[in-house]
Structure 1
Amino acid sequence: MANRILFVCLGNICRSPAAEAVLRKQNPHLEIDSAGTSRWHTGEPPYAPMQTAARQRGVDLSSLRARQFGVNDFTAFDLILVMDAQNRKDVEALRPAGNTTPVRLFTEFATASPHDHVPDPYYTRDFDGCLDLIEDAAADLSAAVAEI
């Protein structure tokens, strides 16, 4: 059973902190965190427009701070969920030899709105569309978490 879940995106200021907060709201019993493959925003709060969009849905991101994904995350978490193929490639490049922690695309759980990635609203400016997809995938992940 996946009790410790990590979400990963590029900068850890839009997609992964939103996914962290949405899933945590749905599953307060799970250990959930987020990280970015880059260090560009380390220590910064989530991007203000993402915070605003999330707050309008009752999801508070204000206490979260960006951090960079690290090798230790492979042992600290049971499941690592990435937002796109490049995030997956960057995470897998750090995998220690012999480690078997699953690294999956978060969108594998978005059955109601199939996508091959979570578009980055930092670039698309579609914060609500991003949150729609995150909420859909998080609901399906919540239903499947006991089986993972």
Structure 2
Amino acid sequence: MIRPATPEDEAAIRACAIAAYTPYIARMGRDPAPMSADYAAQIAQGVVHVAYDGAFLGFITFYDEGPHILLENVAVTEAARGRGTGRKLIAFCEEAARLAGKPVQLYTNAKMTENLAIYPRLGYAMIGERVENGFHRVYFQKNPA
């Protein structure tokens, strides 16, 4: 089940983000941005959704940016990895974008090479690269079906 995050989910969301992104610190030379995100504010804005099956499995953050829906963050717990949870969360975002008649855009750090391979397999096309806040980001987009 995917549902909007509540304030009670914040600790699990933060722990999931820290666990998911800690392995990238050595590669990037700094904490990835999701490790310091203001999840309380994002939950209050209604832009965070969680996957839950009796236990917290992961989360996704996305919101309308005018011409597109920005998929800002997706992470799953260690226990949920390899079970399709991340894909279900992304599909949830894609469905919201389809209903809005907008493409989904996302970015990943250039040093997160696993992501650079995953997103094209999910139908995303690379649309650009830029450095923002010291992060080398690669942007992808998927148009509504």
Which interval holds the TM-score relative to the shorter structure?
0.3 to 0.5
TM-score normalised per structure 2: 0.33
TM-score normalised per structure 1: 0.33
Q: In proportion to residue count, which structure has more strand?
A: 2
Q: Indicate the structure whose relative CO is greater, using CA pairs within 8 Å and at least 6 residues apart.
A: 1
Q: Which has the larger radius of gyration?
A: 2
